Structure 1
Amino acid sequence: MTPFPFQIITNNDDDKFMLEALKEAWKTFKNNEVPVGAVLVRENKIIARGHNQVEMLKDATAHAEMLCLTAGSAALDSWRLSKTTLYCTMEPCSMCAGAMLLSRIDTLVYGAPDIRHGANGSWVDLFAQKHPTHEISIRRGILGDESSFLLKEFFKKRRMEKQGEKSE
């Protein structure tokens, strides 16, 4: 089994929690899922974790963020996730961004942009309009190089596997 590829030593909370999200993403990398991971934090403690399980569950909604929000709701016994921060290795899609608004997280921190589906300005910007009842603080690019590296390596591996299938 290939070891986790990142060694990051930091006292910065954003880096510390994003590293945990990267560990979640690494789980999916090894299982041929797009490597996206998420952790939900409240009062400086991780209360939920999630990683992409779209292929495994055959469910287009089984994104890391969605699974993490669901686990967070179970942990807090409430759909309202106020006073929480969601750390995600990739910019959320519109479905996940909508779920974040509805669940009322306070802060979103993410690593890599997603030009194909990103809902924080890379494709569309669902957070640009002031929401009538809730606003999310956003920090982007936290461990973005590491998050991008994992995604690039995954898709490089996938392309090589497909080329191998064609040559057989």
Structure 2
Amino acid sequence: MKHKTYMKRAMKLSVLAQTSGKGLPVGCVIARNGLIVAEGHNEVLTQQNPTAHAEIVVIGRACKTLQRLSLEDCVLYTTVEPCPMCMSAIYWANVKEVYYAIPGMQAAAVGFDDSFILQELFKERDQQAIPVKYQPLDEAFDVLRAWQDTDKEITQHWSGS
């Protein structure tokens, strides 16, 4: 399959999301070695979950299908340029490449405007609209350190080793 074929499939999924009322009209496909590994659409409405964006849903399905956390040999196709949250998930999953059909600026013109999130993220913590405050707890770091010492596969994946 070619890029356009995957993108057309993502488009069909976005139409399904809209016509079924299950989510916002965004579709996504993850492909590997010429085959679709996972596909889906935005499920924010059916899951009553603001994080159930198409890319997040499909990354989860792809990782489950492949039984691994890294999608380093996979390509993601989505109908709308990924938002900051989805791009973070794409990086965490180590996706090889991303293709999108609609730029964020174009999506913003019809109400899909996530620019405020980027603006907030670039502010200093004490200037952000949602307070995020440091509350030290020594035992919390001890748990992280113990986890790092015992779960090498995951820590290597997330450290880039």
Q: Is the TM value for this pair above 0.5? A: yes
Could you say which structure has the larger radius of gyration?
Answer: 2
Displacement after TM superposition at 1:91 (Å): 0.4
> Which runs of at least 4 in structure 1 moved beyond 3 Å after TM superposition?
none
Provide the aligned C-alpha RMSD in A. 2.2
Q: 1:31 corresponds to which residue?
A: 20
1:40 to 30, 41, 49: 30
The percent identity for this pair of structures is 29
Displacement after TM superposition at 1:31 (Å): 2.2
Q: Distance in 2 between matches of 1:45 and 1:106?
A: 15
> Superposition pairs for residues 17-166 of structure 1, below 5 Å?
17-32=6-21, 33-115=23-105, 116-117=113-114, 133=160
Letter of the aligned partner of 2:45 in structure 1? E
Letter of the aligned partner of 2:73 in structure 1? K
What SS does the corresponding residue of 2:104 show, helix, strand or coil?
coil
Letter of the aligned partner of 1:59 in structure 2? N
Displacement after TM superposition at 1:50 (Å): 1.5
Displacement after TM superposition at 1:133 (Å): 4.8
What SS does the corresponding residue of 1:109 show, helix, strand or coil?
strand
TM-score of the aligned structures, taking structure 1 as reference length: 0.62
What SS does the corresponding residue of 1:82 show, helix, strand or coil?
coil
Higher relative contact order (CA 8 A, sep 6+): 1
Q: 2:108 corresponds to which residue?
A: none
Q: Could you list the per-position Cα deviations for residues 62-94 of structure 1 after superposition, in whole angstroms to 9, with x for gaps in the alignment?
A: 100000000000110001111100000000011
What SS does the corresponding residue of 2:95 show, helix, strand or coil?
coil
The alignment covers a number of residue pairs equal to 113
